Structure 1
Amino acid sequence: PEGAWVLNGDRGLTYSSALPKGSEIVAGQWWPANYKGPALVSIEAEVAKTLGIGVGDSLTISLLGVEVPAQIASLRTVKWDNFGLNYVMVFSPGSLDAAPHNMVATLTVSKPAERILAKSIPPTFPSSSLIEVGEVTAQITVLLTQMAQAIAAAASIAILAGIAVLVGAIAAARQSRIYDSVIMKMLGSTRGQILGAQALEYGTLAVVLGLVSLLLGMLAAYYVVVQIFDFSFMPDYSILALTLVGGAGLTFILGIVGSLPILAARPSEALRSL
């Protein structure tokens, strides 16, 4: 299903003597610049894999009712995100020359030059069409930014909910911790030793929770980014490390702060209440 678009509707075609920018040959060879033999074609590698074809195979396209057979000379990967022109199929020179076609180009210019081009190209080339994509890419950027903000907001809610659960767990275990603290005091433990034991406990808890959240979060993020959105998975490890350290540190601090009132409990009062 992911490759069905290749066979649905018409496809843009082109011919070229040189390998288009943003392309890289992964199988076969590109034809010489002065090639004048039978029609050859270079196909995008993922499309060729979907169709089950490869170098040396033949295919036939129907161009304005005329069938044009061609042999596959190479497979290539294409960087579609470089804002240049590229096509699924690129033919050798001479293959499509006789068919009516248009010339297309992309230009990357500054904002002032953009306005100058918009005014100067139509009078010079009356049959040309100028399509400005700057605003389109800006809208896409805004959309992706809003998506990132929504994801960050959802993650923040999850973190706040986790903090609330952690505070509740500390409060629920308060009575049992007071009892443990009192028994340890009666056995000769100092406040520093009791606090150190609880710091070790909360530190271990923070590390374990951080590792578990890292594993589950990375798996979930990989599935959403790669499987659903079909993007490349490139996590920002600096932000990831900062989040883990911050979360573990916050867990540790909340645990220690919650332990301070326990240390102040008097054995007589604590045992009487129990």
Structure 2
Amino acid sequence: MLGKEIEAKITSLREIDWRSLRFDFAIIFAPGTLERAPHSYIAAIQIPERLEAKIERTVGDNFKNVSIIRVREALKSAANILAGIGDAVRGISIVTILSGLLVLAGAIAAGRRRRVYDAVVLKVLGATRTVVLQAFLLEYCILGAATGLTAAVIGTVAAWGVASLLMGMPWYFEILPVLGTILLCIFVTLVAGFYGTWRAMGQKASPLLRNE
């Protein structure tokens, strides 16, 4: 400390959240260690912007050796940057979700002909419309759950990598977005699958089987 070696014993460790913007220090000594060392006092206040000039004049007139440093502009700039990053991430997420939904819809549409054939065969074998519809909807539900679970796992791993490895920020697992992703995939898959299955149920058996 100021060219002088100070021997101390580490008694505890703590975690500091620097995002709180509060005054804090990486190392704290026990009382009686640094009292004789040169030091300064620091304080932080938050006041309305319209009172800043008045407070500065009052402090400057009464305390000549006090320095005032404004951080409002820096905080606004940092907030704007973080907001821009958040908007970009949300935009990319929306595009990714829409792309995934389009791919899922395309996969369902590509299997429509097989669904029609399966529905016709099941009806010929004596299955009722309700049984066929329930079987297809169960298949779509499993497909949507698998798709949502895969998307949730990939998204969670990506979020952990960006927060922990790229930005050095603590990362916390949130269960609600994961469940929301899975439920959304199931819902979209069921809606698209129900529409395709309902149309397949209306197909006549004789023209299709005659062409096979």
* TM-score category (smaller protein): 0.7 to 0.9
Q: Percent identity?
A: 25
Match of 1:207 in 2: 145
Q: Which moved more, 1:146-155 or 1:89-98?
A: 89-98
Q: Deviations over 1:135-186 (max 9, x none)?
A: 3223222222222221121111111111221222122212222111111111
- Which runs of 5 or more residues in structure 1 are unaligned? 1-60
Aligned mate of 1:181, from 119, 131, 144: 119
Paired letter, 1:228: L
Match of 2:36 in 1: 97
Q: Deviations over 1:54-90 (max 9, x none)?
A: xxxxxxx4x1xx4343323534423433333222334
Q: Which has the higher contact order (CA 8 A, sep 6+)?
A: 2
With normalisation by structure 1, the TM-score equals 0.68
Following superposition of structure 1 onto structure 2, how do residues 1-274 of structure 1 map, counting pairs within 5 Å? 61=1, 63=2, 66-72=3-9, 74-77=11-14, 78-91=16-29, 92-93=31-32, 95=34, 97-99=36-38, 101-274=39-212
CA RMSD of aligned residues (A): 2.3
Q: Deviations over 1:213-246 (max 9, x none)?
A: 2222222211221122111212443344333322
Distance in 1 (CA, whole Å) between partners of 2:76 and 2:196 is 48
DSSP 3-state at the match of 2:22:
coil
Q: CA deviation at 1:132?
A: 2.0
Greater helix percent: which structure?
A: 2
Distance in 2 (CA, whole Å) between partners of 1:213 and 1:259 is 25
DSSP 3-state at the match of 2:79:
helix
Paired letter, 2:9: I
Q: Deviations over 1:95-127 (max 9, x none)?
A: 46354x432222233445544322321222233
DSSP 3-state at the match of 1:214:
helix
Distance in 1 (CA, whole Å) between partners of 2:189 and 2:79 is 35
Distance in 1 (CA, whole Å) between partners of 2:197 and 2:157 is 34
Q: Which moved more, 1:78-87 or 1:226-235?
A: 78-87
Distance in 2 (CA, whole Å) between partners of 1:263 and 1:186 is 12
Distance in 1 (CA, whole Å) between partners of 2:114 and 2:17 is 61
Greater strand percent: which structure?
A: 1
Distance in 1 (CA, whole Å) between partners of 2:190 and 2:208 is 25
Q: How many residues align?
A: 210
Paired letter, 1:156: I
Distance in 2 (CA, whole Å) between partners of 1:76 and 1:174 is 61
Distance in 2 (CA, whole Å) between partners of 1:236 and 1:114 is 40
DSSP 3-state at the match of 2:42:
coil
With normalisation by structure 2, the TM-score equals 0.85
Distance in 2 (CA, whole Å) between partners of 1:171 and 1:132 is 60
- Which runs of 5 or more residues in structure 2 are unaligned? none
Distance in 1 (CA, whole Å) between partners of 2:106 and 2:37 is 77
